[in-house]
Amino acid sequence: MCTVEIEPIHVYQGTLDLESKIDEWDLRNQDAPINVCDLSKIVSKYNDWRRLMPNVMPYYAIKCNDELPILKTLGDLGTGFDCASRAEIEQVLSLGFDSEKIIFANPMKSISHIQYAKENNVTDSTVDNAFEMYKIFKYYPESNVVVRFRSDANKALSPLGNKFGCNAEEDGVLLMILAKALGVNVKGVSFHVGSGCCDFPSYGRAICTGSALYKAGNLIKHNMELFDIGGGFPGNDDEMFCNIAEVVNKSLDKFLGDVKVKVIAEPGRYLVSTAYTTICKIFSKQELRGSDDQLEKVMYYVNDGVYGTFNILIYEDFKIDTIHFKNTDSETFNSLIWGPTGDAADKICDNINLPNLKDGDFIAFPNMGAYSIVTSSAFNGFTLPKTKFYIRKDLQVI
């Protein structure tokens, strides 16, 4: 049963007209930015996933964006959830989804979080070292563990291998032997090639390594049944995603075709990136002119920045796109967009071409759904955007 109130979801027909949202939400008379989330995009990402990787069930990594309408939409479609903490587990359960739908996919867990998982019957969690294996033995020995090994993409926007994942050949097998000695069941294996993977063959390498570890688990007489290929799927690069899907399908067939196994993944950004557009207002500007009074550059100051929704710019090479709502024939100028805070690091993008926009005009930024809201702060007292949720009429799932 759902025990929380979910934000209203507005139904639209045809296409979602972003410009009309500026008046609809009275943005001209206020200083807060807004996010517009089109849940239909999440539904179509899910459909593409099921079409391209029908044998891999997505468990949405809610760390990526935990707004409730997203969790409800995905859960209703049938995804599971990857939770990394007690609070994330609470969120999923508060929506009425079953604890069986959750994998506690954080190899390093606080004791109170393990106890909460136990009280709420969340039985599966990832582990990558002996210390954590003993902790599970002590606090939740009847649960199942999934051994997470390290297998990195050659290039990813946010690599994870330095922090998580054991060496599969040596430590992975030893961990399984330790679990056997302690009486803790190993249910499967997992990996994460790195978030925002730019190296699709890395999934093939990881599945090859993981299949050997999985089979070792069978030999050690664990009840192996789960193969978790983690996250890393790109948010808005369809070609890369198709390449990954092809490698995953072929590799699962080649290395695990003869084994009975449930295959899951933990996609985050793939499902939500494209669904969000952040609409910001220009509240100040400067025109930089050369000695001949020619306009050389325009600097805009908008009401959200890298300490807010654009936080992702600090730690990954995120490509900013802009929508400016002006006639596309307008003359354009070299432009720079600053965030609102008093820090010069608060720069959204530079050297982009925009028409000469006015104070009070709006700029929208698409593809802002992943690792944006969840990592933002109201530094310097600037208001963070609220999200307005929409879904196309023929796709309504809630």
Region of 225 please: left (phi>0), alpha (psi -120 to 50) or beta. alpha
Helices and strands: H and E segment counts in the chain: 11, 18
Cα torsion at 93, 98, 104, 109 (round to 10°)? 50
- Residues numbered 296 to 355 that lie near ligand PLP (CB under 6 A) are none
Q: 161 vs 322, which CB is nearer to ligand PLP?
A: 161
82/346 with CB nearer ligand PLP? 82
**Catalytic option among 45, 192, 324, 388:** 192
Both tokens of residue 50?
């099921």
The reply on whether position 188 binds ligand PLP by CB under 6 A is no
Catalytic residue among 41, 45, 63, 72: 63
Q: Which is nearer to ligand PLP, 172 or 196 (CB)?
A: 196
Contact between 82 and 60 (Cβ < 8 Å): yes
CB closer to ligand PLP out of 155 and 254: 155
Asked if 64 interacts with ligand PLP (CB under 6 A), we say yes
Binding residues for ligand PLP restricted to 80-99, rule: CB under 6 A? 82
Q: Is position 192 annotated as part of the catalytic site?
A: yes
Smaller CB separation from ligand PLP, 82 or 124: 82
Distance set, CA 164 to CA 149, 169, 174 (Å): 8, 15, 17
Compute the distance between CA of residue 291 and CA of residue 233 in angstroms, rounded to an integer: 49
User: Per CB under 6 A, does 192 bind ligand PLP?
Assistant: yes
Q: Which two tokens stand for residue 217?
A: 């688990």
| From 1-9, 44-52, 172-180, 260-268, span contacting ligand PLP (CB under 6 A) | 260-268
Give how far Cα 335 sits from Cα of 240, 282, 340, Å: 30, 13, 16
Rule CB under 6 A: say whether 199 interacts with ligand PLP. no
Cβ(91)–Cβ(100) below 8 Å: no
| Residues 83/103, Cβ–Cβ less than 8 Å | yes
Number of residues engaging ligand PLP in binding (CB under 6 A): 17
Can you tell me which of 67, 124, 266, 361 binds ligand PLP, judged by CB under 6 A? 266
| Lookup: tokens for 368 | 């802002």
Q: Which stretch binds ligand PLP (CB under 6 A): 32-40, 180-188, 261-269, 278-286?
A: 261-269
Residue 63 is a catalytic residue: yes
* Min separation Cβ 61 and ligand PLP, Å: 4
- Please select the residue that binds ligand PLP; options are 80, 217, 231, 305, rule is CB under 6 A: 231
Q: Name the burial class of residue 221, with classes exposed (0-12), middle (13-18) and buried (19+) by CB atoms within 10 angstroms of its CB.
A: exposed
Quick check: 203 binds ligand PLP (CB under 6 A)? no
- Alpha-carbon dihedral sign for residues 167, 171, 176, 182: negative
Query: Which one of 230, 340, 355, 385 is in contact with ligand PLP (CB under 6 A)?
Result: 230
What are the residues whose beta carbons fall under 8 Å from the beta carbon of 237, sequence distance 6 or more? none
Whether residue 113 lies in the annotated active site: no
| CB nearer ligand PLP, residue 340 or residue 369 | 369
State the number of CA atoms in the 13 A half-sphere of 382 facing the CB.
27
Binding residues among 103-122 for ligand PLP as defined by CB under 6 A: 105
3-state secondary structure of 171: helix
Binding range to ligand PLP, per CB under 6 A, among 21-29, 115-123, 236-244, 268-276: 268-276
Which amino acids are annotated catalytic?
A: 63, 192, 266
Give contact residues for ligand PLP (rule: CB under 6 A): 61, 64, 82, 105, 160, 192, 195-196, 230-233, 266-270
